[in-house]
Amino acid sequence: MGLGHANYLLAAALLLLGLHGLVTRPNLVRKLMAMSVLQVAVIMFFLSLAAKDRAHPPIVLDGPVVRARDYINPLPHALMLTAIVVSVSTTGVALALLIRIHRRYGTLEEPELLERLRE
Amino acid sequence: MTHLPVLVVLVPLVAALLIPVLALGSARAARIFALAALLLTQAMADLALHRVLVAGTWHYRLGGWAPPWGIEYVLDPLSGGMAVLVSFMALLTAIYAGPHLAGATRIRSGTFHALFLLLAAGLLGIVVTGDVFNLYVFLEISSLAGYALLASGTPRAAVATFRYLLVGTVAATFYLLGIGFFYAATGTLNMADLGARLAGGADPTLVGMGVALVTVGLAVKSAVYPLHGWLPDAYSHAPASVIPFVAAVMSKVGAYALFRMLYFVVGTAGAGGEALRLLGLAAAVAVVAGSAMALAQRDVRRMLAYSSVGQMGYVIMGFAIGNAAGVTGALLHILNHAVMKGCLFMSGGAVAWRTRVTSVREYAGMARRLPLTMAGFSLAALSMIGLPPTCGFFSKWYLVLGALQRGAWPFVVALVASSLMTAAYFLRLLERAYFGEAEAPPAGERRTPELPLSLLAPVLVLALGTLALGIFNQSIVTAVIRHALPGGL
Q: What pTM was estimated for this model as a whole?
A: 0.94
Per-residue pLDDT of chain B (489 residues), as tens digits, is: 789 999 999 999 999 999 999 999 888 899 999 999 999 999 999 999 999 999 989 999 988 898 888 899 999 999 999 999 999 999 999 999 988 888 888 888 999 999 999 999 999 999 999 999 999 999 999 999 999 999 988 888 999 999 999 999 999 999 999 999 999 999 999 999 999 999 888 888 999 999 999 999 999 999 998 888 889 989 988 999 999 999 999 999 999 999 999 999 998 888 889 999 999 999 999 999 999 999 999 999 999 999 999 999 999 999 999 999 999 999 999 999 999 999 999 999 999 998 888 888 888 888 888 889 999 999 999 999 998 889 999 999 999 999 999 998 999 999 999 999 999 999 999 999 999 877 666 555 566 677 888 999 999 999 999 999 999 999 999 988 998 998 777
Contact A49 B137 (CB under 8 A): no
Residues 40-59 of A with CB under 8 A from B: 42, 45-46, 49
Residues 6+ apart with CB under 8 A from B337: B248, B252, B311, B314, B315, B392, B395
- CA dist B261 and B136 (Å) reads 12
Residues in A touching B169 (Cβ below 8 Å): 35, 38-39, 90
Residue A3's pLDDT band (cuts 50, 70, 90): low
- CA dist B365 and B355 (Å) reads 12
Residues 6+ apart with CB under 8 A from B421: B288, B291, B292, B294, B295
Contact B159 A113 (CB under 8 A): yes
Which residue in B162, B115, B240 sits closest to A101, CA to CA? B162
Q: B431-459 pLDDT, tens per residue?
A: 999 998 776 665 555 666 778 889 999 99
CA–CA min distance A1, chain B (Å): 17
* Alpha-helical segments (H) within B56-189: 77-100, 106-128, 132-150, 155-186
* Partner residue facing B144 (CB), from A38, A89, A105: A89
Convert B171-202 to b/e letters by CB count within 10 Å (16 or more is b): bbbbbbbbbbbbbbbbebbbbbbbbebbeeeb
Quick one: pLDDT at residue A2? Answer: 46
- CA dist B82 and A12 (Å) reads 36
Residues 146-165 of B with CB under 8 A from A: 147-148, 151, 155-156, 158-159, 161-162, 165
CA–CA min distance B453, chain A (Å): 34
Residues 71-90 of A with CB under 8 A from B: 76, 79, 82-83, 86, 89-90
Residue A1's pLDDT band (cuts 50, 70, 90): very low
Residue B247 is given by DSSP the state I
Amino acid identity, residue B76?
D
- Residue A12: exposed, middle, or buried by beta-carbon count in 10 A (0-12, 13-18, 19+)? middle
Which residue in B268, B213, B236, B205 sits closest to B359, CA to CA? B236
CA–CA min distance A64, chain B (Å): 23
CA–CA min distance A79, chain B (Å): 8
Whether the complex's predicted ipTM surpasses the cut of 0.90 = yes
Contact A49 B161 (CB under 8 A): no
- CA dist B284 and B418 (Å) reads 10
- CA dist B462 and B45 (Å) reads 19
Q: B263-286 pLDDT, tens per residue?
A: 999 988 888 899 999 999 999 999
Q: Is the dihedral of CA A62, A67, A69, A74 positive or negative?
A: positive
Contact A90 B144 (CB under 8 A): yes
Quick one: pLDDT at residue B447? Answer: 61
Which residue in B465, B181, B204 sits closest to B342, CA to CA? B465
H helix count then E strand count, chain A: 4, 0
Average the pLDDT over A72-87 and give the result. 93
Residues in B touching A83 (Cβ below 8 Å): 136, 176
Q: Are A101 and A28 in contact (CB under 8 A)?
A: yes
Quick one: pLDDT at residue A117? Answer: 85
